[in-house]
Amino acid sequence: MNKKVNTIVFIVAGTIVNLLLAILFIVLLMVLIFKVETIWPGRGEPMFPFAFIAGVLLAMVVYQRLSHWVVEKFDLSDKLDPLFKSRRRRKKKDQD
């Protein structure tokens, strides 16, 4: 497999992991809200939108750190094609 195929496989697998992490965090936060609701009735209901947003943000942060760890751990930097290439051209320094 070439670098582009490796990159596509890595991104697809990472997207699936990111979705699973988001679902996991959202469910955990919802369970926490239900526990708060049983202790203090009426206090947990307004937290549902925040639980959804926080679950997605937590998943993004964990996925970012996990993907960097995987790339470093398995030395994938030379096996993956860079996603973003700089459009700026580096100016060559004039040597005297």
Give the mean model confidence (pLDDT) for residues 25-47. 90
The answer on pLDDT for 94 being more than 80 is: no
At 80, is the pLDDT very low, low, confident or very high (cuts 50, 70, 90)?
confident
pLDDT for 11 equals: 94
Residue from 51, 55, 52, 34 nearest 43 by CA: 34
Question: How far is it, in rounded angstroms, from Cα 35 to Cα 53?
Answer: 19
Place of tokens 């470093």: 72
Mean pLDDT of the chain: 87
CB under 8 Å, gap of 24 or more: what pairs does 28-34 form? 28/55, 29/54, 29/55
